[in-house]
Amino acid sequence: MNWFTQTLNNYFEINERGSTISREIMAGIMIFAAMAYIMAVNPTIMASAGLPKEAMIITTIAGTVVGTLLMALWARLPIVLAPAMSSNVVFANVIVQGSHVTPYVAFSVVIISGLLFTLASLTSLRRKIVENFPAPIILGIQLAIGAFIARLGLIIAGIVTSSDHGMSFGKLSQPTVILELIAMGIAIICMLKKRASGLLLLIAAITISGLFIPGIDGQPFTHFSGKIWALPHYPTEFIAPFDFKGYFDALGLMIPVTLYLLLNDFFDASGTLISVASRAGLCGTKKHPTLDSKAYICDGAASVVGAVLGTSTVSAYVESATGVEAGGRTGLTAATTAFLFLISVLFWPLLICIPALATAPLLVMVGIAMMGSAQNLPKDIADASVPLLMILLAAVTGDFMMTLTCGMILYTTIQLFFKRYHKITPTLLGLDLVFILYLVLHNFL
């Protein structure tokens, strides 16, 4: 064993965790294959907020690389971080489009929520919030954001359109609708079969089809620039792209959105980190009874760094489990994935050609996967009514913040009606006041 492999082994504790360098590298490749789609999907979503897609490709990769290296080199866990598939939709569709603010105000929301998450992870506040937050609301958030993402994917695909009677099924006379229906079925099958490579092939197939199949405007919906690779240029205008003045000018509307990103990162990160670490034997065992707090700090810090680099909330990805299943046990797995994302930046001209229609089926798939947590609905019908109402409102209205507000108020009302006063915590009452303020400002001012 030469000095380099010995150094890797000692730093990442590879042998101690029962792995090998070759196995760690292979596990990192597996995670990259499972997550490569984010380089196509996230820039497309961010572009819907009025941001240049080319720049968002670079910032997406930068946020993924830096966030993952934080987790790999400090927490030394086989967990990869990237712009979260729920938070990017909230960034574009809820904050920018829904609240009618600029993307620079939205970036301010991201960094403030990231700083709060990091601060909470450094103290006992994170544990207290997780323990005191109502389970039906946590479940409702997961279900509602899943419905919201799936709805967005269906609209982008043209499968669902707006009409005088509300939402209608798309016209089957449109070739793209037929294509998207087939692609959506394939995406769901790939998800059920856990074939991440199939998703990459699906994106490629739709993109190539778009060179020949006309979109709504009668023109091919894929536009190829003729270049496959080129040296990247970092969009410096998106380094620390914050508008704190705009944030505080709309403070009443921004506080609830900031709280949502914070809470979503809390529960999503906690679930993902614990789940993946447990599979790797790094949590829930005699040797590692609890997850190292470094993991939570890295997750929060990654959101801060991601915002500084110009992307949406960066968080742990459950696809990291594919690397764990392949034998990954250390940060070398995550570092390998980060390296593969880094060299992918050379192919940005190819990535920018990927149309929104190519990623729409994946949005539907991600939404369905998030709604899979419906199997955890409370047996008590009163508590179950909260997440059920939230998923219904999110799917029908597409207004996520109003959905969350209604869910919070309904939960508190139910507890008061049934005299379950022990469930009404100061945390819950404080959040209720914040969301009632949002309700008033959003609808009456």
What DSSP string runs through 166-222? EEEEPPTTSHHHHHHHHHHHHHHHHHHHT-HHHHHHHHHHHHHHTTTSB-TTSSBS-
DSSP 3-state of 241: coil
pLDDT of 145 reads 84
User: What counts of helices (H) and strands (E) characterise the chain?
Assistant: 21, 4
Region 360-379 average pLDDT: 88
Whether the pLDDT of residue 325 is over 90: the answer is: no
Residue whose entry in the numeric block shows the structure tokens 């993946």: 276
Confidence class for position 433, pLDDT limits 50, 70, 90: confident
How many CA atoms within 13 Å lie on the side-chain side of 199? 29
Higher pLDDT, 83 or 403: 83
Torsion, Cα of 141, 103, 307, 264 (10° steps):
0
Q: How far apart are CA 79 and CA 405, in angstroms?
A: 32
In this structure, are residues 348 and 124 in contact, taking their beta carbons and an 8 Å threshold? no
pLDDT in tens, 174-225: 999 999 999 999 999 988 887 777 888 999 999 999 999 998 888 999 988 8
pLDDT in tens, 104-155: 999 999 999 999 989 988 887 776 666 667 889 888 988 888 898 899 899 9
Whether the pLDDT of residue 362 is over 80: the answer is: yes
Work out the mean pLDDT of the chain and round it to a whole number: 89
Whether the pLDDT of residue 1 is over 70: the answer is: no
Q: How far apart are CA 163 and CA 169, in angstroms?
A: 9
pLDDT of 369 reads 86
pLDDT in tens, 272-296: 888 788 888 887 666 665 677 889 8
- Of the listed ranges 254-268, 286-300, 363-377, the one predicted with least confidence: 286-300
The one-letter amino acid code at 260 reads Y
Domain segments of the chain as ranges: 16-223+243-444
pLDDT of 399 reads 82
pLDDT of 127 reads 66
DSSP 3-state of 358: helix
DSSP 3-state of 352: coil
pTM of model > 0.95: no
pLDDT of 13 reads 93
Whether the pLDDT of residue 19 is over 70: the answer is: yes
pLDDT of 224 reads 87
